[in-house]
Amino acid sequence: MAELAGGDIQMDAGNLYREETFTDLKSGSLRKLVPVTAAGEDDPAREPIFTAVAQVMTPGGILPLSGEVRGAKTLEEAVAGFPEALKQALASLREEMEAIQRERASQIVVPGRNGGGLPPDLLVR
């Protein structure tokens, strides 16, 4: 995310990456972020970052899903870690959705607020 420094948006020249994408045209994609120097040369001092990306069909439509392939240093390792990365991403998504459902279920319903109850003109006095 861009940070404002004195009103100007600045890029961190010491933290640049080149993006590469790989896909099998069936299950999803792997995104590889290759660390580079400010001159655009590969930076061997830093490890690449691999992210597994897929789409899941839900009753509400297509849901994008992504997760970091932890520990992968090569494309071959990232391919092997693809299923686990997506399983972890899906588990995290389920936890978030369950937390939202618990929060909504625990809300106190007060007539006349949040669209609940009868309109004031229909209340019996």
Q: Output the DSSP codes for 4-43.
A: EETTEEE--TTSEEEEEEEE-SSS-EEEEEEEE-TTS-B-
In a domain, 33, yes or no: yes
- What confidence tier does 37 reach under pLDDT thresholds 50, 70, 90? very high
In a domain, 84, yes or no: yes
How many domains, the chain?
1
Contacts 24+ apart (CB under 8 A), 90-96: 90/56, 90/65, 92/67, 93/63, 93/65
In a domain, 9, yes or no: no
What is this structure's pTM?
A: 0.72
In a domain, 89, yes or no: yes
In a domain, 102, yes or no: no
In a domain, 49, yes or no: yes
Q: Containing domain of residue 39, as a range? A: 14-95
pLDDT tens digits, 84-122? 999 999 999 889 989 988 888 888 766 666 555 555 555
In a domain, 118, yes or no: no
In a domain, 85, yes or no: yes
